[in-house]
Structure 1
Amino acid sequence: MSHTELNPSNTNPENKTLTKIKQIAKGQATSDGAGVALTRIIGQGSVKRIDPFIMLDEFGSDQPQDYLAGFPSHPHRGFQTVTYMLQGKMGHEDSVGNQGLIEDGGLQWMNAGKGIIHSEMPMQTNGVLRGFQLWVNLPASEKMSPPDYQDIPSGQIPEHIFTDGKVRVLAGEFNGLKGAVTTRAINPQFFDIHFTSSTSLTFDTNKKHNGFLFVYEGQIKVGEQILMKGELGILAFEDLLLIHAQSNTRLIFVSGEPINEPVAQYGPFVMNTQAEIEQALRDYRDGRLTQ
């Protein structure tokens, strides 16, 4: 994957076709778990899903009552969950005996596969909790795979440093840096991009992917479209993404191969058919979800 830092007079030196924003949306305030306040960005009215991405939540507050009740034990089947902590900590444990703590800047990429029951309990750092949870669908061939997860501390996430910022490579590859996540399902790319001053940044994009940008601080411009803080930009992929950013801007870039299969979803179960959902419900009721 190539990367170029640009000046305004030389915005596309290779004359590649530019990836554009085809839709802009804002999230909806909601709550989940035992009453955790969050913003649902994907998985709500205006953006149901972006194949292969089922849901994206942003959570963040300096008010402990917004999140300290956490996410008590709950089941998943048929997809992967990605938890990325910008600030704060998330303690977790699950039905297969795993227990750990995701800390500031850390990442957990969990494969629920055939079934897992887990709990997540948020904890603030310096009075603040902030982060994202992304749900990534699995193809039918992998929905009943064994559950597992990767806990990746902040110090193990590769970073590409450039003059006016950095790119944290959580998954995929950027400028020769391979991301911390090793899953091959949907060939994911997940970058957390920080700009310290007004500048432009380009990198290659995959025409076969679906994906998005989400600005969580500052403002960017892609083509003629402006993306403000709190806005999601769904991308029409071509060869190259060119981002013009204001100073102190931060955003995530996420992409992956579309699965192009039917989706049947009931809460924490994401399968291909209604019959498979009903089976998941029976398995959970009868204590067989994780067997």
Structure 2
Amino acid sequence: MKVMVLLLEKASPSEIDHELLDPFVSLVEFSVSPPGGFRDHPHRGFESVTYMLQGGIIYQDFNGHKITIHEGDVQWMTAGKGIIHSEMPEEQVNNGLQLWINLPSVDKMIEPKAVELSSSEIPRAEEDGVEVKVIAGESMGVQSPFYTKVPIMFLDFTLKPKAQTHQTVPESWTAFAYVIDGDEGVFSSSDSSTVQAHSVVVFEKGDGVSVLNTSSFKPLRFLLIAGEPIGEPVVQHGPFVMNSQAEIDMTIEDYRNAKNGFEGAKSWRSE
């Protein structure tokens, strides 16, 4: 299986080609400290997965949901027809990753919701120098209890020095890896080229992904993310992800007029 390597810059979305990486819209590695943060803002038309690597994020939305997502915790957020929320830093140093997953047209106007999975609740497995946290999907005989509308896998692998693993991926699915730590991983490549930390590795279609940590001293940590393509047009305008410009225009009008899912826009404010 061939790969394409992209560099993901912190605090800005990766340059994801919607057709190439369908159903994924964006991947952001963020670092935020007080008094900064992501103050009250709207979304529509997609789901997000927020995975905290360090510190914590205080989440609030206009449905009355408030929780702190700590290091190692995960939040699934379905924007659906509309949600307004805030994501503010809890500590001085707060780092994490947020993945946006498109919703098919039939689901873009579903009810919004947010669900969390604490670090202690994430299933994990370990064998032959390979540890995996199964946030979504299945790996090494372990399955996550959580699902997004669009079927995906979201796996956090740590390979000890010289360890290797192979993960089965449905042949029609889009798959990519994001290297969190370690500079000597080889991903499904015949030329033994290593991949640097904070890089995105995009895989061609196939039945699986093989990874080898060539380092003799340092562990390799990466996320393996894969999903079933939707095959629909994507038009993104800031926090909104729809199928056409007309739908984007309607979404902006709905938000401005506090209707069709944004009824709380005029009255709700986070604490």
TM (norm. structure 1) is: 0.82
Cα displacement (A) at 1:198: 2.1
**Equivalent runs, 1:91-102 vs 2, <5 Å:** 91-102=58-69
8 Å contact 1:170–1:191 — kept in the other structure? yes
- Letter of the 1:48 partner, please give it: D
- The whole-number CA distance in structure 2 between the counterparts of 1:105 and 1:213 is 18
Mapped to 2, the partners of 1:231 and 1:241 lie a distance apart of: 16
**Match for 1:276 among 232, 238, 247?**
247
Residues 156-206 of structure 1 deviation map (CA, whole Å, 9 limit, x = unaligned): 0001112313100000111221114222x2211000111232211112111
Matches within 5 A, 1:22-37: 23-28=4-9
What does 1:38-117 align with in structure 2 at a 5 Å threshold? 38-41=11-14, 44=15, 47-49=16-18, 50-60=21-31, 64=33, 68-117=35-84
Q: Secondary structure at the match of 1:226?
A: coil
Partner of 2:233: 262
> Are 1:158 and 2:130 matched, yes or no?
no
Whether the 8 Å contact between 1:165 and 1:197 is mirrored in structure 2 is no
- Please, which of 252, 262, 268 is the counterpart of residue 290 of structure 1? 262
Runs of 4 or more off by more than 4 Å in structure 1?
none
TM-score computed with the length of structure 2 as normaliser: 0.88
For residues 254 and 227 of structure 1, what CA distance do their matches in structure 2 show?
16
Deviation at 1:250, TM superposition (A): 0.7
AA of the residue aligned to 2:247: E
TM-superposition CA deviations, 1:93-137 (whole Å, max 9, x none): 10111111111100001100000000001223xx53221011100
- Provide the C-alpha distance between the structure 2 equivalents of 1:242 and 1:273, rounded to a whole number of angstroms: 37
State the 1:290 CA deviation: 3.0
Higher strand fraction (1 or 2): 1
* Equivalenced residues, count: 253
Q: Residues 175-190 of structure 1: matches in 2 within 5 Å?
A: 175-183=140-148, 185-190=149-154
Match 2:179 to one of 176, 191, 215: 215
Equivalent position to 1:248, from 206, 219, 230: 219
Q: Is the 8 A contact 1:95 1:290 kept in 2?
A: no
CA distance in 2 between partners of 1:28 and 1:205 (Å): 26
- Give the partner amino acid of 1:60: S
Q: Deviations over 1:31-67 (max 9, x none)?
A: xxxxxxx1432xx3xx333211111001237xx3xx6
Does structure 1 conserve the Cα–Cα contact (< 8 Å) formed by 2:135 and 2:146?
Answer: yes
Does the 8 A contact of 2:176 with 2:202 survive in 1? yes
Deviation per residue, 1:201-231 (Å, 9 max, x gap) = 1121111101211111103102224211111
* 68 and 158 in structure 1: CA distance in 2 versus 1, 3 angstrom threshold: farther
Output the CA distance in 2 between the equivalents of 1:122 and 1:285. Answer: 27
Q: Which residue of 2 aligns with 1:196?
A: 160
Which AA in structure 1 matches 2:8? G
